[in-house]
Amino acid sequence: MTEHRSAESRASHDEWSDTPEQRYADAPCGLLTTTPDGILTEVNDTFLRWTGYSRTSVIGTPFEQLLTVGSHVFYETRYLPVLRLAGEVRELSLTLRCAGGGTLPVLVNATTHLGPDGRPRLVRTAIFDSTQRHSLERELLVARRVAEASEARVRVLQDAGAAFGACDSEESVAAALVDCARQAFRATAAAVVLIEESGDMRLAAGDHPLLEALAGTVVRRPEADALSNGRAVTITSLQDATSRFPDVADALRATRLEALSVIPLIGGERSVGLLLCFYGRQRGFDDDVLALQAALALQAVQVFERVRLHAELENLALYDPLTGLANRKLLQHTLGAALVSAERKHTPMAVVFLDLDGFKAVNDGLGHLAGDAVLEQVADRLRAVVRGSDTVARFGGDEFVVVCEDINERDARQLADRIRLAVRRPLPGVAGSFAVTASVGIALHRPAAGAATTVADLLQAADSSMYVSKSAGKDGITVVTV
């Protein structure tokens, strides 16, 4: 009995024993041994069960031959180098090709074991089925890509909005757009070309590598297409360029570029210009990229419009709308700057103040429209007789001021005389039967140490001189030195 029972217990013990061999064969992971070159020398049953291979079919073959193409490349470029250099790899993700044609995603740990001579003798590898984790990871990766794509889109437009917000000129908008586009589209170079009122194109910001290469060519260019169609033109490769824009293909080749996108900047009726992105290798432009380019362009166009409108308003605020001359505000500014410059350079300057004689009679006799026509005529004559560097301003009513930098008394008198003679010429067709002349006062300023002269001082002095001329019989010149 006792013997029998002990035999029975021994038998069951044998059956349930956990020998090292069994532990290896049935381990809850695939276990492999390879040579340092990756030739399989031993595999356990778990590995064979998972992959469906027979032992004889895998022993002697290189491990990498059991991998999918993508995994094989990762194995060669990353797995093996790290294994050789570090002696081990941890938790790398590979995909095995199974006997039945299916695949098995696995996580792999491997360790290199050295022989007595210190050289690699064999590699032990453990693989873990990561099917569940793999599909989860795939979902995460896909989700991450989608999230990143939409986040990137939002970020690009937000960053652009922030950059554009600080812009106050076309140049600064163009520069911000170039920066945003280069980053957003990973472009090797980017450029913004603006269309002048004359119709000429002007490089406003960025690098346009093709500008020189294409100078002088009259062949159809992607820019013209983009503007006339109002849609982006993309060149995806040199081959694409060769068939559609041969001269562009040559220019791209010469500048080591392979792809190009040209996005028109069009606001309402008006073409503002173009955003060009240049790429160092061939590019596919999917709908997302095209949509983002269009959104960025639209955003930029709005800012270009704002800046241009602002400039127009600023223009209105500084110039007299009737005559186009500087208004009082711009006069103050210009005169202030001239004064500072004269003090710094120790050069004399002059302020010429003139008031029209006989203007009231025109207004009273012919009406305000005729008066306006006289003022316009006088403004044109003033512009014609002053020096290029002088500033002519309408001070108010029928009063005008000319700011002359770097001028001596003799030249100032001559200038004032030219003005006097120009004004007294007849006004045929405007106020032909009326005599209009100018009473002129000159405030000449010679900078001297210690004497602080202000804009108001100069204007006051010139105004007073003008009154002296007026009381002395009009159509004359009086000079005072300040």
Partner 1 sequence: MVQKNGSTPAGVRLRNNVHVSGNPSGRPLIFAHGFGCSQEMWRDVVPAFAADYCIVLFDHVGAGDSDLSSYDYGKYDSLHGYADDVLEVMAELDLHDAVYVGHSVSSMIGVLAATRDPARFGALALVCPSPRYTNVDDYVGGFEQSEIDGLLDALDSNYLGWSATMAPVMMGNADRPELGQELTTSFCKTDPDIASHFAHVTFLSDNRNDLGRVSTPTLILQSEHDVIAPLPVGEYVHGMISGSTFVVLPISGHCPNLSAPGLLATEIRAFLA
368 interacts with partner 1 by CB under 8 A = no
Instruction: Say which amino acid occupies 197.
Output: E
Instruction: State the number of binding residues for partner 1 (CB under 8 A).
Output: 53
Binding window for partner 1 (CB under 8 A); candidates: 1-9, 185-193, 305-313, 342-350: 185-193
Binding window for partner 1 (CB under 8 A); candidates: 65-73, 149-157, 213-221, 353-361: 65-73
DSSP 98: P
Nearer to partner 1, 95 or 125 (CB): 95
Element (H, E) at 108: strand 103-114
Within 8 A by CB and 6+ apart from 385, the residues are 415, 418, 419, 422
Nearer to partner 1, 141 or 291 (CB): 141
258 interacts with partner 1 by CB under 8 A = yes
Place of tokens 């996005």: 263
151 interacts with partner 1 by CB under 8 A = no
Binding window for partner 1 (CB under 8 A); candidates: 3-11, 60-68, 241-249, 337-345: 60-68
DSSP 472: T
Please return the burial class of 402, using the count of CB atoms within 10 Å of its CB with bins 0-12, 13-18 and 19+: buried
Within 8 A by CB and 6+ apart from 477, the residues are 413, 416, 417, 420, 440, 441, 442, 469
Nearer to partner 1, 74 or 319 (CB): 74
Q: Which of 7, 11, 114, 136 binds partner 1 (CB under 8 A)?
A: 136
Nearer to partner 1, 88 or 314 (CB): 88
User: Binding string, 78-117, against partner 1, x = CB under 8 A?
Assistant: x-xxx-xxxxxxxxxx-x-----------x----------
Nearer to partner 1, 127 or 392 (CB): 127
171 interacts with partner 1 by CB under 8 A = no
- The residue among 22, 30, 58, 25 whose CA lies nearest residue 128 is 30
Catalytic residue, chosen from 240, 398, 406, 457, is 398
- The residue among 270, 279, 379, 393 whose CA lies nearest residue 328 is 393
Nearer to partner 1, 94 or 461 (CB): 94
Strand, coil or helix: what is 405? coil
398 is catalytic: yes
Shortest gap between Cβ of 234 and partner 1 (angstroms)? 16
DSSP 46: H
Shortest gap between Cβ of 282 and partner 1 (angstroms)? 6
Rounded-to-integer distance, Cα 147 and Cα 150, Å? 5
Place of tokens 């020189």: 212
Strand, coil or helix: what is 156? helix
- The residue among 196, 299, 210 whose CA lies nearest residue 262 is 210
Place of tokens 């044998």: 14
Residues lying near partner 1 in the complex (CB under 8 A) are found at 37-38, 62, 64, 68-74, 76-78, 80-82, 84-93, 95, 107, 130, 133-134, 136-138, 140-141, 144, 182-183, 186-189, 237-238, 253, 256, 258, 279-282
List residues with catalytic annotation. 398
